[in-house]
Structure 1
Amino acid sequence: MAKLPVIVSFGGINAAGRSSFHHSYKRMVHEKLSAATMANTWQDLANKMQIKHDGALSGKVVEQILAGTLVRKIEPACFDYQRVPYQHRAPLKVGDERITFALSKRKLPNQIPDAWQVEEIDNRTVRITTSGELDVLLPDTYQFPVSSAGQIPAGFDPGSLYNSRFHPRGLKLTVYGASDALNAMGIDWADVLNHIKPDEVSVYAGSALAQVDDDSLGGLISAPYKGGRASTKMMALSLAEMPADFINSYLINSVGATGTNMGACASFLYNLRQGLHDIKAGRARVAIIGNAEAPVVAEVMEGFRVMGALAQDDELNNIDGTTEPNNRRACRPFSENCGFTMAESAQFVVLMDDELALALGANIHGSVPDVFINADANKKSISAPGVGNWVTMAKATALAEAILGRDALNDTFVQAHGTGTPQNRVTESSILNEVAKHFGIQSWPVAAVKSYVGHSMGAAAGDQLVASLGVWQYGLIPGIKTIDHIASDVHQSHLNILQDHLEVGDRMQACILNSKGFGGNNASALVLSPAKTKTLLQNKHGEAAMQAWLQNNESVAAKAAAYDSAECAGEAQVIYQFGESVMDDEHIELTKDSLKLSEFTRSVSLTIDPDLEGYL
């Protein structure tokens, strides 16, 4: 029987907080949860945000936490939106007059303009005299037209938890997010490696926009124009697959398959499909999947703004009839809206094949039978939506019907792409509505978590996934709380587009994550609930195997819970193993049938894949 990719851990950080143990989810639905349930989430956020508290977490502390999370006004940790640096090119026309100024010899251009007269003042300084016209750049600042973004909790700096000097923000988020997922697994990585061969691990992680701040591509490109100098690290740390490289080299010491599969805003699901296909094909027994994105950078946001993609302050004001934008409600999926809201996030999941998950007693948070990816075919605009998402949603729903049965489709829900753009609200609602109608779904619950955490580009579907896992733990589908009505052009005859949290208890058996990306990158993933996953595993492996798993899981769950308690208490445990267990040529033993690496208990097999023998 085919192997089932089981979600055994997840972790990360976004505007709602830490992902593991459903803390970011709980922040979204906190109004519906008891004070006792929320206590450790408030504690976790207060400690991360450097908010002083006496342990009682008073109302003022909670108010400060609420104000410093979710979509909000852009904070200086990202950039000062009120004073964005800018330079005006200005030709100074002086006519018959002359301009004289002093300049360091070291600053003289290699090519001296013909109109310049250069006189030495001393060993270090020259006097320049020129007439006619002088081209200069005048430094200035301007207020950015967009003041809203989804940012990690205010005051939290993941780079302070390890030696992160010169690391771009996206890689700092990677180290924290992937560490969170690995620590939350409740199984030491060394124990996992004892059960598998060194190359039976896949890591697919990246950034759709690569690393673009001053410590990476942004600094590399701008250095010559700012009079700066490129560092030796900028080029390497700019690469889109660098999150996977960091995980392999500094977190898990992996020689397995690696890379990133980019699909714009659907990149997380592209990587998820790579990992689950490796597991289903037997090429890997463990897959670490994720994306990290830090695009709340003025230059990146300007690129999307000039495309007309972002919700600008003046447009929000026009909708609301106000003079000040409501930053909290910047993202309004399926309502009257004007654009999406940029966000930063890092989300990671650990998948295992079903046999390994049971053998290790791993926590079972759900499973992913498949991810469907289809392009848009011919269309007039590369950024416009097309037909591909019809294909992915129809396939995902058909698979859900095959696994659950047609009647049980009414016990599923959708995590919509839900960007908050006028075009998305029409096109995506049309697809979801028609698919629901065709498959006999009467009132399909539709959530859109970008209304809480913004659009984190390549990591966006990861935000959707971790929020969906929370539904199965606490029985609440997050509503779209930033809207007060559904727009008149939205298709909803067979949809229940949630404007408030929906209590579903343990009824939901599956959800579909939907992603749409620039260029025609469409992906839809079917995710099964923990309960449904356990039922499938019992049908395949039998009652005895499940009882053995349950017994083994006791220590795993306890160790994972201990990590959560320590993290909530502010005792950060980021994994970063720079320069440890390094291997070179001297640490390899090569034979005809295997390759032995000194840092691994088991060897890499060199035997031929049986599936290929027929071609030889």
Structure 2
Amino acid sequence: MSKLPVIVGFGGVNAAGRSSFHHGYRRTVLDALPGEKVSRTYRSLAAIMGIPADQVNSDVQRQYMRDHTLIRKIEGNIFDVDNVPWNKRMALSGAEGVLQFVTRARDLPDTLPSGWVVKELGAGKVSVSINEDCNMLLPTTRKIEVSTAGQLPSGFDPSSLYASRNHPRGLQMAICGASDALKSIGLEWQTVMDSISPDQMGVYASSAMSQLDDNGFGGLLGARANGLRVSSKQMALGLPDMPADFVSAYVLGNVGTSGPSLGACATFFYNLRQAVNDIRSGSVKVAVVGVAESGVDPRIIDGYYTMGALASDADLLKLDADKGLSEPDHRRASRPFSSNCGFTISESSQFIVLFDDELAMQLGAQIHGAVPNVFTNADGYKKSISSPGVGNYLTVAKAVAAAAAIIGDKAIKTRSFVQSHGTSTPQNRVTESHILNETAKLFGIEKWPVAAIKAYIGHSIGASSGDQLVASLGVWNDNIVPGIATIDHIADDVHCSNLRLQKEHMEVEPESLDVAILNAKGFGGNNASVALLSPSLSEKMLKGRHGDKAWQAYLARREQVQAVASAYDDAACETGFSVHYQFGENVLDGGDLELSRDGIGIKGWASKVALDFKSPYASWLPSED
């Protein structure tokens, strides 16, 4: 029988704050929450933003926390939007046809350019004469065309949480997000390790954009051009699979599967698909899935701006021309399904922990939801690599059909909602709304609730579908489908006859929504859709499979797990993230293995890696008799 992958922990950080225990989600629906949850949300933010605990209830500090989270103007600690460094090309020539300058002899290039005449001046200096025009690069600054982003909360610095050793920002965020997800489970990791074989764990994590800051590929590719040296770490640390490698080596001690995938803006779901398939097949029992993406960088912004994909300052001002604004409305830069002009880039690290249903029952793990299916489809023949195609129609329809096969065609009409890709580009509002609207018609859904989390936190590229997933878990916890708060109307070209798109939050009855359909579209035809099951539905399914006696025993075990998880959240609301990072500890080598024909024992693991394989192909060979 197929295993059910259940979510037993989740964590990370984005522009809304810490993800575990729904704190980031609650920042997006803050005004609709009861007072106790509002206070706890502010406590969580204050802890990571460096605000003293005794000032959390201050109106001034609460306004500061609101102003310095979610989408906003890029702040100077990331880079100065008015003074972005670059090298301007200049053509020089001498006043009398000969250009002369003095420099140190050691600064001359090893190979002199054609037309250069060098004369020794003594004291290590030389005079250079050039008889023809000369091009040079002049270090200068410029004002960037896009000044809005979904940045991590002000004051939060992931590099300060551990010995980051010149790690790219994306890898710092990966360590942070994976640690948060791990601690949210409420189980000691050694307990999990002792319950499975070493090769029954998998880590499925990556970064769609690689690591493009100066400690990664950005520094590698720009070093020589800027007169600097390449470091020994930039190549290795820039690789897009590094989030999985770092989490395996420094957080989990994983010796099982490492399966990083890439799928542009659907990357998190591409990783999730591998994990779900491996758990369903029984090849792994524990899967850690995530993406860490640090895209708030002037070089990355340049690339997307040149494509015409980003909401520039000039275009945002045009959208609000009737308001007479002198600078863009940064807060409302992302306006999914409304009049818009491009997406807003952001940064995020999101991780979830999946168990198979048997292990979750055995250990008393909390059930936050379940993922029975992830569907991916390419677009087929298309006009351009960045244009949308037909693949997303297939993934959305299959996700709804898979959910309907579980809860029934009647229930899918009233007990599901959509977490849309919702990028805030003119093309997305037309194409995705048509996909969702036609799918709603196909399944008889009259007013399908649609959320668009990017309105609040922006588009974190590969991590964005992870943002969608953790936000959807929050809906079931607090019974509020976030409205698209940044819009004041639905654009005329949006297809919405069978969709419920609204600015206001939608409050729902507890346990009235069983399924969330999560949708992601990526450049190149990387389409992915997920059927995500609610905690209550997941628990009903586990009780039905394992029986009432096993269920009661599970509930008794879960009480202690929940208590430990809550204690972690209490501590994190006071002191911020607690990072688990093991560098140079418990390092394994060949001497730590016990080799035998039936299995390999590994130091630190209770079970062996089995070698008693039974091949399904053995009967294909003729008998030796």
Correspondence 1:117-266 to 2 at 5 A: 117-266=117-266
Q: Give me the whole-angstrom Cα distance separating, in 1, the residues matched to 2:445 and 2:162.
A: 49
**1:6-46: per-residue Cα shift (whole Å, max 9, x none)?**
00000000000000000000100010112211212211211
Correspondence 1:38-437 to 2 at 5 A: 38-94=38-94, 96-321=96-321, 322-409=325-412, 410-437=414-441
Alignment check: 8 A CA contact 2:363 2:557 kept = yes
Q: Give me the whole-angstrom Cα distance separating, in 2, the residues matched to 1:59 and 1:78.
A: 27
Aligned to 2:531: 526
**1:18-75: per-residue Cα shift (whole Å, max 9, x none)?**
0000000010001011221121221121121122452552111110000010011011
Alignment check: 8 A CA contact 1:583 1:599 kept = no
**1:553-592: per-residue Cα shift (whole Å, max 9, x none)?**
0110000000001111015420000011111111112111
**1:488-544: per-residue Cα shift (whole Å, max 9, x none)?**
111111100131110012211110100000000100000000000011111110111
Q: Which amino acid aligns with 1:31?
A: D
Alignment check: 8 A CA contact 1:333 1:451 kept = yes
Alignment check: 8 A CA contact 2:120 2:127 kept = yes
Alignment check: 8 A CA contact 1:474 1:505 kept = no
Aligned to 2:547: 542
Q: Quick one: structure 1 residues 571 and 314, their matched pair in 2 at CA, closer, same or farther if it must change by over 3 Å?
A: closer
Q: Give me the whole-angstrom Cα distance separating, in 2, the residues matched to 1:581 and 1:464.
A: 36
In structure 1, stretches of 5+ residues that fail to align are none
Q: Give me the whole-angstrom Cα distance separating, in 2, the residues matched to 1:254 and 1:614.
A: 34
Alignment check: 8 A CA contact 2:180 2:577 kept = no
Alignment check: 8 A CA contact 2:55 2:61 kept = no
1:391 is displaced (CA, Å) by 0.3
Q: Give me the whole-angstrom Cα distance separating, in 1, the residues matched to 2:55 and 2:130.
A: 68
Q: Which amino acid aligns with 1:500?
A: E
Query: Secondary structure of the residue that 1:199 maps to in structure 2?
Result: helix
Aligned to 1:559: 564
Q: Which amino acid aligns with 1:324?
A: E
Q: Quick one: structure 1 residues 615 and 483, their matched pair in 2 at CA, closer, same or farther if it must change by over 3 Å?
A: farther
- Asked if residue 453 in structure 1 is aligned to residue 418 in structure 2, the reply is no
Q: Quick one: structure 1 residues 525 and 537, their matched pair in 2 at CA, closer, same or farther if it must change by over 3 Å?
A: same
Q: Which amino acid aligns with 1:496?
A: R
Q: Give me the whole-angstrom Cα distance separating, in 2, the residues matched to 1:527 and 1:114.
A: 65
Alignment check: 8 A CA contact 2:48 2:576 kept = no
Q: Which amino acid aligns with 1:459?
A: A
Alignment check: 8 A CA contact 2:7 2:354 kept = yes
Comparing 46-55 and 66-75, the one that deviates more = 46-55
Comparing 5-14 and 75-84, the one that deviates more = 75-84
- Asked if residue 590 in structure 1 is aligned to residue 600 in structure 2, the reply is no
1:614 is displaced (CA, Å) by 4.0
Alignment check: 8 A CA contact 2:374 2:529 kept = yes
Q: Give me the whole-angstrom Cα distance separating, in 1, the residues matched to 2:618 and 2:269.
A: 33
The percentage of counterpart residues that share the same residue type is 51
Q: Give me the whole-angstrom Cα distance separating, in 1, the residues matched to 2:131 and 2:95.
A: 7
**1:378-436: per-residue Cα shift (whole Å, max 9, x none)?**
11111111100000011011111111111211110000000000010011111101111
Query: Secondary structure of the residue that 1:210 maps to in structure 2?
Result: coil
Q: Give me the whole-angstrom Cα distance separating, in 2, the residues matched to 1:296 and 1:13.
A: 14
Comparing 580-589 and 446-455, the one that deviates more = 580-589
In structure 2, stretches of 5+ residues that fail to align are none
Q: Give me the whole-angstrom Cα distance separating, in 1, the residues matched to 2:443 and 2:612.
A: 46
Alignment check: 8 A CA contact 1:295 1:344 kept = yes
Query: Secondary structure of the residue that 1:347 maps to in structure 2?
Result: strand
Alignment check: 8 A CA contact 1:53 1:61 kept = no
1:123 is displaced (CA, Å) by 4.9
Q: Quick one: structure 1 residues 478 and 105, their matched pair in 2 at CA, closer, same or farther if it must change by over 3 Å?
A: same
Alignment check: 8 A CA contact 2:335 2:455 kept = yes
Alignment check: 8 A CA contact 2:46 2:56 kept = no
Query: Secondary structure of the residue that 2:393 maps to in structure 1?
Result: helix
Q: Quick one: structure 1 residues 184 and 216, their matched pair in 2 at CA, closer, same or farther if it must change by over 3 Å?
A: same
Query: Secondary structure of the residue that 2:400 maps to in structure 1?
Result: helix
Q: Which amino acid aligns with 1:28?
A: T
Q: Give me the whole-angstrom Cα distance separating, in 2, the residues matched to 1:360 and 1:152.
A: 34
Q: Give me the whole-angstrom Cα distance separating, in 2, the residues matched to 1:523 and 1:197.
A: 31
Aligned to 2:580: 575
TM-score (norm 1): 0.98
Comparing 216-225 and 601-610, the one that deviates more = 601-610
Q: Which amino acid aligns with 2:377?
A: N
Q: Give me the whole-angstrom Cα distance separating, in 1, the residues matched to 2:171 and 2:235.
A: 14
Aligned to 1:16: 16
Comparing 46-55 and 82-91, the one that deviates more = 46-55
Comparing 580-589 and 462-471, the one that deviates more = 580-589
Q: Which amino acid aligns with 2:503?
A: Q
1:151 is displaced (CA, Å) by 0.7
1:120 is displaced (CA, Å) by 2.4
Alignment check: 8 A CA contact 1:95 1:132 kept = no
**1:233-270: per-residue Cα shift (whole Å, max 9, x none)?**
00000000000000110001011100311110001000
Comparing 28-37 and 49-58, the one that deviates more = 49-58
Q: How many positions carry a matched residue from both structures?
A: 616
Comparing 122-131 and 299-308, the one that deviates more = 122-131
Query: Secondary structure of the residue that 1:127 maps to in structure 2?
Result: strand
**1:584-614: per-residue Cα shift (whole Å, max 9, x none)?**
1111121112111122221101121454444
Q: Give me the whole-angstrom Cα distance separating, in 2, the residues matched to 1:400 and 1:69.
A: 34
